[in-house]
Amino acid sequence: MAIKQSILVSIIFLTGIINGYGQQGIKGKIIDSENRAVLADVHITNLEDNSVTISNNLGEFTLSKTGKYLLTRVGYNEKEIEISNSEYVIIQLTLKPSELNEVIVSSNHIPKKLKKAVATISVLSGKEIERGNNFNIAPVLNRVPGVYQHNGALNTNRITIRGIGARNLFGTANIRAYFQDIPLTTGNGETTIEDFELTSIARFEIIKGAASSIYGAGLGGTIHLIPQNAYLNQTDATAEVSVGSFGLIKGIVNVNHGTAKNSFRAIYSNTHSDGFRDNNEYDRQTLTFTSNHFLGENDELSFLGSYVDLKAFIPSSLNEETFRNNPTAAAFTWGQAQGFEDTQRGIFGLSWNHKYSDKVKQATSIFTSFRKSYEPRPFNILDEDLFAVGIRSRLLGNHKLFNKNLNWTLGGEFFRDRLESGTFENLYLDFPIGTGSVEGERLSDFKERRTYYNIFFETNYDLTEKTALSIGLNFNQTSYDLDDRFTATAENPDQSGSFDFDGIFSPKFGISHLFTENISVYSSASHGFSPITLQETLLPDGQINTELDPETGWNFEIGTRGTLIKNRLQFNLALFRLDIRNLLVSRRTAEDQFIGINAGRTQHDGLELALEYQWINSKPLNISSYLNYTLNDFVFEEFIDGDNDFSGNDLTGVPSDVFNTGVDINTGFGLYGNINFQYVGSIPITDSNSLFSDSYNLTNIKIGYRLSAGKKLKFNAFFGLDNVFDEEYASQILINARGFGGNAPRFFYPGNPINYYTGINANYTF
C-alpha cells in the first residue's frame, strides 16, 4: 500500500512538473526586419480558434500552443507564420510605406512611433529608394524636404541639410552619418555616403537639425543608412544586370540565408560608366555582408561589413562659357592631368544587445574602418591612408514615474582615427599630352591623430496618454595632433602641433502631443556644433590658430504629422529656425591652400512639407501621389570677411526652394511605373550675391513588369528615362570659386542630359 501511494504521489508530482512546463507556453519576440527595433502592440491571432495575443513593450509574447498565426500591426505588413515547436521564436515584420507615421524609428536609440517623435525625421523606405535608378543616390535624397545634394558626378557630391554644409567646398561636412551603428563621419567631420551600394540600403532615417543629445557634432543633422538585413527562416538569391547611357553596365548578386536564430546576407555589385563628360570614367566594386544571431531570450549579436573599391576619373568644374557651350568637356588642367581618385575603403562593426531585465538593456557596438586613397590632381598628387577604431555603448531603460512611462538612454561614443597623408609634385606638363599624371618629388608628409568622445543622455516621459516630453544632453570633447614629418624650410615651415577644443555641452528639449489618434504636433529646441578641421586651423606660417572657434547653433522647430481622409492622406509639416554663430569661412589663399576664419553668423528660416495621397488602394490597382516642398530663407545675419561686409545677403550654395511631385502606379498583374517632377530654385554662387545659378526642372520616369514563374522564381524587368526633356542645368555649384593664372573662375558642374537605363533581375527562393 505504501509503495502504491509513493507511486501515485510521484505520478502527481511529475504531472505537475509537466503541466507547469506546458503552462510556460511558447515565448518569442517581434522586431522590425530592417532596424531591428522591437515592436509592441502586435496582434498575434491564432487562425484555428481566433484567440489573440498582443506583444508587450519589449516586443515579447507568450503563446499557449503551436499552430498557424496571423501577425498584424499598424505601419507594418501582415505576416502569416506557422509555429511548430516550443523553442524561443524571433519574428520579423516589414514596414508598410503607406503608413510611415506609424513605423517605429530608432534614430534616437529609444524606439518610438514616428508620429510621436519630437524632431523632424524623414524615413525613406525601399519604395522611395526604388523609384529611380540604383546607381545614383542624389535623386533619392533630393526628394526629402530640407535635404539637397549637389551632384557633380557619381563620386563628386556635397549634401546639405537646412543649409548646413553648403559652405564646404569639396564633399560633405557638418552632417553626421551612420551605417547602422558605425560612424561614416571621419575625425574632422567629413562624411561620404555616395560610395555605398544603393541596393544594399533598406531605408534611410534622416534627422534634421542639431539632434545633439544623441550625436555630438551633427549641426545640420544625422543620416542613418539602414542596411539590407539578413532575414530569418528564408533562403533566396537575386541576380540583376542593367545597362544605360554613357556606357553604363551594372551587375548585382544578393544572397540571403536564414534559419530560426541565425541569418546571413551578402551583396556584391560591379558598376561601370564612361560618364557624360570627358575624363569621367567610373568603376566601382562593392561587397556588403550582414549577419544576425539570436543567442537566446536576452542576447543578440550582429555583424556588418562593407568594402568598396573605386576608381573614378574627375572632370571637375567648368567656367560659365564652357558650361554653356561645351558641357561635355573636362576642366582643361584636369583633362590634361587625367585626374582621378583611386580608393579602397572598408567598415566593420560588431554589435551586442543584452537584456538585463524587463526594465533595462544595453546595446554596444565596436567598429573599425580604413581608407586608402590616391588622387592625382593638376596642382599635386594626394596620397592618404586612414585607419579608425571606436566603440559606442548605451543603456536603455523603461520605468514608471508617477504611474507614467519613462524611457531613457545613457551612453557614450569614443572614436579615434589616424590619417597619414602626403602630396607629391605632378609632372604631367613635362610629358607628352595624353601621358596623364606623373608623380614627382614629395611636397608634404603629415600624420594626424584625431580623437573625440561624446557622452549623451536622453529621456522621454509620458506626461499624459497623449503628451510626451523629451529632454537630452550631450557632452563632446575633440582633439587633434599633427606631426609634420617633412623637412622644414622657409617655404615649408614645420606645422606640427596639437589642438584641443573646449568641451561642449549641447542640450535638447522637445514635446509632442497627439490631438487625435492620427494627428500629432511637436516642438523642439536643440543645440549642436561642427568641429573644425585641422587644415582650417593651420596658418600660412605653419602655426595653429588657437583663436578659432567651432560653429555652434540652436535649432528651433514646430511641426505636425499625421493622416487624414480615412488614412489616405499622410502629411508632415515643419517650420524651423536655425541660428548659427561663429560662422566658419574657408578663405582660399592658393589653388590648394585654405585657412579658416570666424566671420559672423547666419540665420536659416525654412518650411518643409511632405504629402502622400492614396487615390486607389486595391489588389488590382494601386495609385498614389506625393508632393514635397522646401522653402529656404537663409541669410548672413552678420558676415564680415576682410574689407567685405556681406551681412543681409543670401547664404551661398543653397537653392531658394525645391519642389518635388510624382505619381506611383502598381497593378495586380505585374505592371508598375512612376513619374517624378522636380523644380530647383536659383542658388547664390558668391557671397556678394553678384551671381546666381539658373533654376531648373527635371522629369524622370520609370516603368517595369514583375512576373512570377511558379512559387519560387520571380522576374522584374524595368526601363527608366531621366531628364526626359533634356534640360541644361548645373547639378553642382562650386561657391566663391577663384580663377588662377588669368583664367575665369570655374563655378559649374553640368548635369547629365537625357539618359536611359534598363535591366532585369531574377529572384529564386530555395
Q: What is the pLDDT of residues 753-766, one digit of tens each?
A: 999 999 999 999 99
> How far apart (Å, rounded) are the C-alpha atoms in residues 703 and 756?
12
Query: Which one has a higher pLDDT value, 10 or 503?
Result: 503
Number of H helices, E strands in the chain: 6, 46
Structural domains in the chain, CATH included, are 26-94 (2.60.40.1120), 221-765 (2.40.170.20)
* DSSP of 431-471: S-TT----EEEEEEEEEEEEEEEEEEEEEEEESSSSEEEEE
C-alpha cell at 478: 575633440
> What's the rounded mean pLDDT across residues 1-22?
43
**Any idea how long the chain is?**
766
* DSSP of 362-410: EEEEEEEEEEEEEEE-SS-EEEEEEEEEEEEEEEEEEEEETTEEEEEEE
Burial of 364 (0-12, 13-18, 19+ CB in 10 A): middle
pTM of the shown model:
0.90
Half-sphere exposure of 265 (CA within 13 A, CB side): 24
Q: Which residues are registered as beta bridge partners of 79?
A: 71
80-89, 176-185, 413-422: which is most confident: 413-422
pLDDT-based confidence at residue 590 (cuts at 50, 70, 90): low
Q: Which pLDDT score is estimated for 147?
A: 95
Report CA 423 to chain centroid distance, whole Å: 31
Q: Which pLDDT score is estimated for 139?
A: 93
Residue pair 526/209 in contact by the 8 Å Cβ criterion:
yes
pLDDT-based confidence at residue 480 (cuts at 50, 70, 90): confident
Residue pair 122/630 in contact by the 8 Å Cβ criterion:
no
Residue found under cell 504531472: 15
3-state DSSP helix/strand/coil percent for the chain, to nearest 5?
10, 60, 35
> How far apart (Å, rounded) are the C-alpha atoms in residues 462 and 465?
6
Examine the pLDDT at 360 and tell me if it is beyond 60. yes
Sequence-ordered list of residues with C-beta below 8 angstroms from that of 503, at least 6 positions apart, any chain: 475, 476, 477
C-alpha cell at 174: 557638418
Q: Which pLDDT score is estimated for 20?
A: 40
> How far apart (Å, rounded) are the C-alpha atoms in residues 344 and 51?
55
Q: Which pLDDT score is estimated for 538?
A: 63
Q: Which pLDDT score is estimated for 16?
A: 41
> How far apart (Å, rounded) are the C-alpha atoms in residues 106 and 697?
35
Containing 21, the helix (H) or strand (E) segment is helix 2-24
Q: Is the dihedral of CA 228, 230, 231, 236 positive or negative?
A: positive
Q: What are phi and psi of 195, to 5 degrees?
A: -80, -15
Sequence-ordered list of residues with C-beta below 8 angstroms from that of 334, at least 6 positions apart, any chain: 279, 314, 315, 316, 377, 378
CA 208-301-305 angle, 5° bins: 65
Residue pair 203/129 in contact by the 8 Å Cβ criterion:
yes
Q: Tens digits of per-residue pLDDT, 258-303?
A: 998 999 999 999 999 999 999 999 999 999 999 999 998 899 999 9
Query: Which one has a higher pLDDT value, 1 or 521?
Result: 521
Give the strands of the sheet with 60-63, arranged side by side.
Answer: 60-63, 26-32, 89-93
> How far apart (Å, rounded) are the C-alpha atoms in residues 78 and 68?
13
Containing 321, the helix (H) or strand (E) segment is helix 320-325
Report CA 263 to chain centroid distance, whole Å: 24
Examine the pLDDT at 543 and tell me if it is beyond 80. no
Q: Which pLDDT score is estimated for 539?
A: 58
Q: Which pLDDT score is estimated for 160?
A: 92
- Residue 728: CB atoms within 10 A of its CB come to 13
Q: How far is CA 148 from CA 74, 178, 203, 503, 636, in A?
A: 31, 18, 18, 31, 19
Residue pair 759/240 in contact by the 8 Å Cβ criterion:
yes
52-61, 222-231, 408-417, 495-504: segment of lowest average pLDDT = 495-504
Residue found under cell 548578386: 253
Q: Which residues are registered as beta bridge partners of 287?
A: 268, 307
Report CA 346 to chain centroid distance, whole Å: 17
For 467-510, what is the HEC assignment?
A: EEEEEEEEEEEEEEEEEECCCCCCCCCCCCEEEECCCEEEEEEE
Q: Tens digits of per-residue pLDDT, 118-146?
A: 888 898 988 889 999 999 999 999 999 99
C-alpha cell at 334: 584636369
Residue pair 279/334 in contact by the 8 Å Cβ criterion:
yes
> What does DSSP assign to residue 306?
E
Strands (E) located in 162-261: 172-173, 176-179, 182-183, 190-191, 201-208, 221-227, 235-244, 248-258
59-68, 578-587, 698-707: segment of lowest average pLDDT = 578-587
pLDDT-based confidence at residue 517 (cuts at 50, 70, 90): confident
> What's the rounded mean pLDDT across residues 648-666?
95
- Residue 148: CB atoms within 10 A of its CB come to 26
Strand 176-179 and strand 221-227: the pairing is parallel
pLDDT-based confidence at residue 19 (cuts at 50, 70, 90): very low
Examine the pLDDT at 58 and tell me if it is beyond 80. yes
- Residue 429: CB atoms within 10 A of its CB come to 12
Q: What are phi and psi of 559, to 5 degrees?
A: -155, 175
Strands (E) located in 111-187: 112-113, 121-124, 147-153, 156-161, 172-173, 176-179, 182-183
Examine the pLDDT at 8 and tell me if it is beyond 50. no
Which amino acid, residue 36? R
Using left for φ > 0, alpha for ψ between -120 and 50, and beta otherwise, residue 246 falls in: left
C-alpha cell at 454: 561624446
Half-sphere exposure of 598 (CA within 13 A, CB side): 16
The three-class DSSP label of residue 18 is helix
Average pLDDT, the chain: 88
Containing 4, the helix (H) or strand (E) segment is helix 2-24
Q: Which pLDDT score is estimated for 467?
A: 94
* CA neighbor of 174 nearest in space, from 533, 441, 505: 533
